[in-house]
Amino acid sequence: MRFVLPDGPRGLLVGSQTGVFAFDGARFTRRSGLTDGLDITAMQRLSDGRLVVGALSEAVYFEHDGRWHLLGADEGMPSNSPFALVEHDGYLWVPGIRGIARVPVEDLAALAEGRITHVRGQMVLNERGDPMAGQQGYCCNGAGTSKGFLRDDTLWLPTRDGVVAFDTAAIRPNTVAPPVAIERVMAQGQWQAAHALADGELPAAARDLTFDFTVLSFQDPRSNSVEYRLVGYDADWQPAALTNRSARYTNLPPGDYVFEVRGRNNTGMASDAPARLAFSIRPLLHETRAFAITLAVLALALLALGLHYLQGRHRRQRLALEAVVQQRTEALAAANDRLREASQTDPLTGLRNRRYMASQIPADLSYYDRQIRKGPEQGKVMVFALVDIDHFKAINDTHGHRAGDLVLQQFAHILRGLVRSGDYVVRWGGEEFLLVFRPMPAAQVALMGERVRAAVASHAFDLGNGQSQHLTCSIGLAEYPLFAGRHDAAGWETLVELADQALYFVKTRGRDGWAAFRPTATTPTDDLLRAMQAGPEVLLADGRLSMVGSESVYADTGETTA
Ligand SMILES: Nc1nc2c(ncn2[C@@H]2O[C@H](COP(=O)(O)OP(=O)(O)OP(=O)(O)O)[C@@H](O)[C@H]2O)c(=O)[nH]1
C-alpha cells in the first residue's frame, strides 16, 4: 500500500503496488480501466471530481468521462514519478523524482476530448534544467512516494538532502536565451571558417553545404534546444538534433542566402538575434538571367524563322497548287475545245458538220445583215448551195464502201478548193454537202453554181482500187436575203429548204446541173415554202417564182438559160 486518499464520507481510495482499490470499510474493490500492475505513487481528486494518479513508471493517468487517459512524454508532459499530485492556481502540480512539473488543468479535458494532441506540460524545477525532465530517476527506497503537500502557495517536499519548500507563486522563468555561433561551413568537400565565407560568394559548383554551429552555454546541452533555417531556401525553422549541431543542404540552386541559427532555453525562450551567415552561390552559365534571356530570344528567333519558313512553304505550295489548277483548267478547256471540235467535225472528210453550222450561222447572218445594210456589202447576197453527188450509191454498190469513202473525201477536197476563207463547207449528211458563201453580187450566183458543177465533173475520182471514175453532182442554190430589203422574212433553215427544193428540181431534170429559185415581186413573203409544196413548177408557171439554172435544167423545162 503506497497511498491512501479519503474518498467521501463512505470510504477510502488506496494506491498500491498493483493498482488502485476502493475500500468501503469492509472490502477492497479494484478500480478497473487502469493499466494492469501500476505501482501507484500518488493520487488526487481534482476539484471537478476527476481522479488523477501517478505511477512509479513515470506516468500520470487521469479520469475523464469514465475513461482513463495517459499523460506521458508523448502527450507533452515531462516524465516524472510523482511524490504527490496537487491542484493549485489552475495547475496540476506534479512534484516527483525528476523535479517539479506542472500542467494547466484545462489541458486534461482538452486532451481527453481530442481538442489538442499535446498538453502544455512544463518542468519548473529540476536538477539540470532540462525542459523534458532529463535523465530517468531511480527510486531507491520509496522515501518520497506519497509525500508532499501544499500550504498556502508553498509546496513542501521531501528530498535526500532535506525538505524543500517550493513557492509556486515565485516562479521566475529563465529569460536568457543561449547565444549560438556558426563555426564552419563545408563546401566542395572543404571546411572553411564561417567568418571567411561571410558575405562571400561560393563557386557555381558548390551546391552541397554543411554548416556546423554550437550553443555558447555552460548549461546541460539538453536544457537548450537549437533551430536553424536557410533564408532563401527554408520556409521555416528546423530543429537541430541534440547530438548533432549541424545542418546539411544538397543541390542548392544558385542565389543569395542567409544561414541563421538560434537557441532556446529550457523555458522555450528563443534569442531574438540569431547567428547569421550571409553568402551567395554563383550560377552556372545556363542558370544566369542573361542566358535565360538569350535562350528566350533565340527561341523567339527560331520561332519566327520557323514561321517564316512555314509561311514561305505555304506560299510555294499555294503557288504550285494554283499552277496545277491553272494547268488543269487549261487542259480541261483544251479538252473541251477538242470535244467541241470533234462534235462539230465530220470525221471522214474533216469538214464541219450540221451541228457546227447550226451553232455558227445565226451569228454570221446577223453580222452580214449589218454589213449589207451599212454600205460596202449593199445589194450583195449570201449564197447557200446544197451539193449532192449523183448516183453515189452505185459507187458503193459497185466498188465498195471504201471507194465511196474515198470519193466523199475527194469531193470534200474539191469543195474546199472552191471557197474563200470565211465561207462554210459543211457535210450536210451522207453524200450531201452545204456551202455558204459570204456576200457576193447577186449576178454571181449562176457563176458559183456552174463553177461547182464544172469542178466536180472535171475530176477523175480515185476509187482506191486502181480505177478512177468521173462523177457529176447536182446543186440547189438559194440567196439571202430571200426578199430584197427583208432580212428577217426567212431564216437560214428556210434558205436550206429552198436550196433543197432547187436541188431536187435538178435531180429530177437529169442531174449534173444547178438551179436557184428566186421569189418574184408577186410571191407572198410569208408562205413561200408552203406554196412551194405544190411544186416549184406551179410557181414558176404562174410567175411567183423565177429561176436561174444550168443548161440541162432549162433544156428539161423547155426554158432558155437565164
Ligand atoms: N461509202 C459511204 N457511203 C455513204 C456514206 N453516207 C451515205 N452513203 C451512201 O450514199 C448513198 C446515197 O444514195 P442515194 O440517197 O440513193 O443517192 P444517190 O445514189 O447518190 O442517187 P441520187 O442522189 O439520186 O443521184 C447510200 O447508198 C448511202 O449508203 C458514207 O459516209 N460513206
In the numeric block, the cell 451522207 is attached to 430
Q: Could you tell me if the CB of 227 is within 6 A of ligand 1?
A: no
Q: What is the rounded average pLDDT of the residues 338-367?
A: 91
Q: What is the rounded average pLDDT of the residues 45-60?
A: 92
Q: Which atom from ligand 1 is nearest to the alpha carbon of 401?
A: 1
What's the pLDDT at 562? 42
Q: Which atom from ligand 1 is nearest to the alpha carbon of 405?
A: 1
> DSSP for 457-493?
HT-EEE-SSS-EEE--EEEEEEEESSBTTBTTSS-HH
Helix/strand/coil (H/E/C) assignment for every residue in 125-156 = EECCCCCCCCCCCCCCCCCCCCCCEEECCEEE
> pLDDT confidence of 36, banded at 50, 70, 90?
confident
Task: Note whether 216 and 93 are same-domain residues.
Answer: no
Task: Note whether 259 and 331 are same-domain residues.
Answer: no
Give how many domains the chain has, as a whole number.
4
Q: Could you tell me if the CB of 429 is within 6 A of ligand 1?
A: no
Q: Worst-scoring range by mean pLDDT, 101-105, 140-144, 184-188?
A: 140-144
Task: Note whether 364 and 325 are same-domain residues.
Answer: no
Taking the C-alpha atoms of residue 363 and residue 341, their distance in angstroms, rounded to an integer, is 18
pLDDT at 559 over 70: no
Protein residue closest via CA to atom 27 of ligand 1: 393
Q: Which atom from ligand 1 is nearest to the alpha carbon of 389?
A: 20
Task: Note whether 387 and 515 are same-domain residues.
Answer: yes
Task: Note whether 239 and 320 are same-domain residues.
Answer: no
**Interval between CA 432 and ligand 1 midpoint (Å):** 9
User: How do residues 364-418 score in pLDDT, each as one tens digit?
Assistant: 888 887 776 776 667 788 899 999 999 999 999 999 999 999 999 999 999 999 9
Identify whether 304 is part of a domain: yes
Protein residue closest via CA to atom 13 of ligand 1: 393
Which one is predicted more confidently, 381 or 456? Answer: 456
Which one is predicted more confidently, 446 or 412? Answer: 412
Which one is predicted more confidently, 3 or 197? Answer: 197
> pLDDT confidence of 561, banded at 50, 70, 90?
very low
Of 112, 144, 170, the domain-final residue: 170
Task: Note whether 392 and 522 are same-domain residues.
Answer: yes
Query: CA 516, 521, 524: angle at the middle one, nearest 5?
Result: 90
Q: What is the rounded average pLDDT of the residues 174-192?
A: 93
Taking the C-alpha atoms of residue 98 and residue 137, their distance in angstroms, rounded to an integer, is 6
Q: Could you tell me if the CB of 348 is within 6 A of ligand 1?
A: yes
The percent of residues above 70 in pLDDT, for the chain, comes to 92
**Interval between CA 512 and ligand 1 midpoint (Å):** 16
Judged by DSSP in three states, 326 sits in helix
**Interval between CA 390 and ligand 1 midpoint (Å):** 9
Task: Note whether 473 and 500 are same-domain residues.
Answer: yes
Which one is predicted more confidently, 302 or 144? Answer: 302
Identify which of 431, 463, 471, 504 to mutate to test ligand 1's pocket (most ligand atoms within 8 A of the CB). 431
List the beta strands (DSSP E) in 152-224. 154-159, 162-167, 180-187, 190-193, 200-202, 209-215
Protein residue closest via CA to atom 15 of ligand 1: 393
Which one is predicted more confidently, 192 or 365? Answer: 192
Separation of CA 499 from chain center: 76
What's the pLDDT at 126? 77
CATH no. for residue 426?
3.30.70.270
Q: Worst-scoring range by mean pLDDT, 42-51, 122-131, 359-368, 441-450?
A: 122-131
User: How do residues 247-278 score in pLDDT, each as one tens digit?
Assistant: 999 999 999 999 999 998 877 788 888 999 99
Identify whether 324 is part of a domain: yes
pLDDT at 324 over 70: yes
Identify whether 269 is part of a domain: yes
- Beta carbons within 10 angstroms of residue 256's beta carbon: 11
pLDDT at 279 over 90: yes
The percent of residues above 90 in pLDDT, for the chain, comes to 58
3-state helix, strand, coil in the chain (%, to 5): 30, 35, 35
pLDDT at 157 over 90: no
Q: What is the rounded average pLDDT of the residues 27-46?
A: 89
Task: Note whether 28 and 87 are same-domain residues.
Answer: yes
CATH no. for residue 46?
2.130.10.10
> pLDDT confidence of 560, banded at 50, 70, 90?
very low
Identify whether 325 is part of a domain: yes
**Interval between CA 353 and ligand 1 midpoint (Å):** 17
**Interval between CA 431 and ligand 1 midpoint (Å):** 5
Task: Note whether 159 and 305 are same-domain residues.
Answer: no
C-alpha cell at 470: 468521173
Q: Which atom from ligand 1 is nearest to the alpha carbon of 403?
A: 1
**Interval between CA 456 and ligand 1 midpoint (Å):** 16
Task: Note whether 219 and 333 are same-domain residues.
Answer: no
Taking the C-alpha atoms of residue 474 and residue 61, their distance in angstroms, rounded to an integer, is 145
Average model confidence (pLDDT) across the chain? 89
Q: What is the rounded average pLDDT of the residues 115-119?
A: 92
Q: Which structural domain range is residue 51 located in? A: 3-170
**Angstrom distances, CA of residue 117 to CA of 52, 120, 268:** 19, 10, 19
In the numeric block, the cell 498538453 is attached to 119
Q: Could you tell me if the CB of 391 is within 6 A of ligand 1?
A: yes
Taking the C-alpha atoms of residue 166 and residue 125, their distance in angstroms, rounded to an integer, is 9
Identify whether 358 is part of a domain: yes
User: How do residues 479-501 score in pLDDT, each as one tens digit?
Assistant: 988 876 666 667 888 889 989 99
Identify whether 562 is part of a domain: no
Is 554:560 a contact under the CB 8 Å cutoff?
yes
**Interval between CA 517 and ligand 1 midpoint (Å):** 25
pLDDT at 294 over 60: yes
Q: Which atom from ligand 1 is nearest to the alpha carbon of 397?
A: 27
Q: Which helix (H) or strand (E) holds 115?
A: none
Task: Note whether 331 and 395 are same-domain residues.
Answer: no
Identify whether 77 is part of a domain: yes
Closest of 244, 251, 208, 205 to residue 226, by C-alpha? 244
Q: Could you tell me if the CB of 389 is within 6 A of ligand 1?
A: yes
Taking the C-alpha atoms of residue 426 and residue 410, their distance in angstroms, rounded to an integer, is 14
> pLDDT confidence of 191, banded at 50, 70, 90?
very high
Q: What is the rounded average pLDDT of the residues 162-166?
A: 88
What's the pLDDT at 213? 96
What's the pLDDT at 130? 66
pLDDT at 309 over 70: yes
Is 104:91 a contact under the CB 8 Å cutoff?
yes
Identify whether 175 is part of a domain: no
pLDDT at 199 over 70: yes
> pLDDT confidence of 136, banded at 50, 70, 90?
low
Q: What is the rounded average pLDDT of the residues 182-210?
A: 95
Identify which of 396, 399, 500 to mutate to test ligand 1's pocket (most ligand atoms within 8 A of the CB). 396
Task: Note whether 92 and 131 are same-domain residues.
Answer: yes
The DSSP symbol for 244 reads B
Q: Please tell me the number of Cα atoms within 13 Å of 116 on its side-chain side.
A: 15
Q: Could you tell me if the CB of 346 is within 6 A of ligand 1?
A: no
* Beta-ladder partners of 530: none
Taking the C-alpha atoms of residue 516 and residue 448, their distance in angstroms, rounded to an integer, is 11
Identify which of 387, 390, 393 to mutate to test ligand 1's pocket (most ligand atoms within 8 A of the CB). 393
